[in-house]
Amino acid sequence: MDIENIKQFFSGKYEFIKLLGRGGFAEVHLALDKMLERKVAIKILLPQHASDPDIVKRFIREARLYAKLEHPNLINIYETGIAEGTAFIVMKYVKGENLKTFIQKDVKTRLSLAPGVIDALSGAMNYIHEKGIIHRDIKPANIILEDGGDNIYLADFGIARSVSSQTMTQTGSIMGTPYYISPEQIKGGVVDQRSDIYALGATLYELVTGKPVFSADSSVEILYKHVNSEPEQIGKVTPEISKRLKYIITRCLEKNPDKRFQSAIEISETISGRKNGSITKYLNSIESGRKNGKKRIAFVFLSLIIIPLIAFLIYKNTIKSGTEISKDMQNNITRPDIISNIKKDADEVPEKLIERKDSGVTELEEIKTVNSGSPEKTSVIKKDKLPLRKDQETEKSKKNRVVPTEKKIVKSISDKPGILRFSSFPPADIYWNGLKLGDTTQIFKKEFPPGKYKFTFKIEGYMSMEKEISVEPGREISAHHRFSPYGFLTITARPFAGFFINDKDHGENPIFEKKISVGKYYIKAVKKGYTTEERVIVIENMKKSNISFSLKKEDKK
């Protein structure tokens, strides 16, 4: 059923005025409630998604979550349902702009709005978190400003979840927008209220600086930065920012959830001034950590590049001049504290080549030292024996020769991305987090940071498949799927009943055009107080099948 038919269906109750906006799954219309004489916003699922049970379920779940909530910074829901097979939500109409468009304004205007945004959102977040709901998609586009920011609303609960929901602890499931998603969710960890707090921090960072926390050419790179990189310092981008705002945003963006605010009420208390104690101390510790990080980088550079270079130049000059290096100079080049520091920053210490002399031959021994550096943990590998030259002058120069330590650094493999090799039969489109990566008409490869990911393999005429794959550092892994054909199954019952397909419980609501693999199925309709009915149905490729049950009340005799 198309949108125009929906308008016709509602014509007795609502008068449609104009289209307010359209997203990937639904569009929102401004309408007039004729009976109550008030403007409302009607969110209607797009026709192409109306037959997808997963999308319909998500849409209805949003309405049910909204309907349970009453807070001044959340939009009220008036009505929800399914009209002629299409889901809809009727909600309060908020006249204004979203925060995403507001961010285009000048920095002074943005900074003046920030405290109000923090106060409103922390209050709304604390309320829904106490109700056991995690929003999971807090971002500027989902924050509505009414009357220039006098009223601020948190909207769009389309991918919200209950804290107790099983999906909250599933690994590899990435839901949300890449610019605002928390590191633990990217890594497949547990998502709780602190993930919403990170998203709030990313939203506020963009509000005060005018740009996202991280930017890159692809979503994968952005997600990698959330886990591994530090954002540009807020004070450098926006020097006018207050200490309090800087503290709130920086702490919200801590990569470790335990270091963030542990609840939204803490944010509310901080912005209101009821909690002040740790602001200066925290910012000083952050700044101190950055300085120490810079010193460490400089020291590592000095240890691994400059000192070996100096040693090499001294050695080279000595060989040219034919003079012997003094013992003091040798000791200075190979001081234990320098070598110790080099060992700390390298995965494998340098190799040494040492000469041994015995009767008539010289052996070169390669000594590898284990990270502990202890003599007991060294292994000696004998190289090919080399004949000595008879030239006495050469023998003398060998005695005077000092062989420098070779500085060979091996980079840790844990920092390397892994490679996934995608293929399928028949060829299909590959999606990750809603983004199309490519198709398998030919095998293709992609690099990913180490971690767990879920990919969807899609092809018309076959059942889509979601695969969870672990990417390991520096390894190439195959991601392959062989498809099974599917058909469509619609099940209804009067009155509503619980449905079992091959003895698996599929809930109590009617099932609208569920995708199901080709084959034979046993369908059972169950309702307390009514007789149980069973049917057998054969699903054929790309064909629609319908089953309707009319349950009879049980005879109580």
pLDDT by residue (tens digit) across 208-238?
999 999 988 888 888 889 988 999 999 899 9
Quote the CA–CA distance of 465 and 481 in Å, as a whole number: 8
pLDDT at position 399 over 50: no
Quote the CA–CA distance of 445 and 432 in Å, as a whole number: 14
Task: Give residue-wise pLDDT tens across range 70-87.
Answer: 889 988 888 877 776 778
Both tokens assigned to 157: 């609960």
Quote the pLDDT of residue 197: 94
Of residues 156 and 97, more confidently modeled: 97
CATH 2.60.40.10 domain extents, the chain:
486-550
Percent of the chain having pLDDT more than 70? Answer: 71
Task: Give residue-wise pLDDT tens across range 302-342.
Answer: 555 555 555 555 555 544 444 444 444 444 434 444 344 43
Domain 486-550: which CATH number of 3.30.750.24, 3.40.50.300, 2.60.40.10, 3.30.565.10: 2.60.40.10
CATH topology of domain 413-482: Immunoglobulin-like (2.60.40)
CATH 1.10.510.10 domain extents, the chain:
97-276
pLDDT at position 535 over 50: yes
Q: Are strands 465-471 and 451-458 parallel, antiparallel or unpaired?
A: antiparallel
Of residues 67 and 391, more confidently modeled: 67
Both tokens assigned to 115: 């405290």
DSSP 542: T
Q: How confident is the model at residue 287 (pLDDT cuts 50, 70, 90)?
A: confident
Domain 3-92: CATH architecture, name and number where available = 2-Layer Sandwich (3.30)
C-alpha angle with apex 431: 254 to 231, nearest 5 degrees?
A: 20
pLDDT at position 271 over 80: yes
Quote the CA–CA distance of 142 and 155 in Å, as a whole number: 5
Mean pLDDT of 344-367: 38
Among residues 420, 430, 426, 439, which one has the least CA distance to residue 482?
426
Mean of pLDDT over the chain: 75
Quote the pLDDT of residue 21: 81
3-state DSSP of 408-439: CCCCCHHHCCEEEEEEEECCCEEEECCEEEEE
Q: Which residues pair with 161 in a beta bridge?
A: 134
Quote the CA–CA distance of 29 and 45 in Å, as a whole number: 11
Contacts for 368 with CB less than 8 Å, ≥ 6 apart: 348, 349, 351, 378, 379, 381
Quote the CA–CA distance of 174 and 469 in Å, as a whole number: 13
Mean pLDDT of 407-424: 68
pLDDT at position 406 over 60: no
Quote the CA–CA distance of 313 and 306 in Å, as a whole number: 11
Which residues form the catalytic set? 137
Judged by average pLDDT, the poorest of 228-237, 253-262, 375-384 is 375-384
In contact, 512 and 524? CB cutoff 8 Å = no
Which class in CATH covers the domain with range 97-276? mainly alpha
Determine if the peptide bond prior to 53 is cis (ω within 30°).
no
Q: Which residues pair with 422 in a beta bridge?
A: 444, 479
Q: Which residues pair with 476 in a beta bridge?
A: 419
DSSP H or E segment with residue 557: none
pTM: 0.53
CB atoms within 10 A of CB 499: 23
Tracing tokens 């109550």 back to the chain, one arrives at 36
pLDDT at position 391 over 80: no
Quote the pLDDT of residue 274: 78
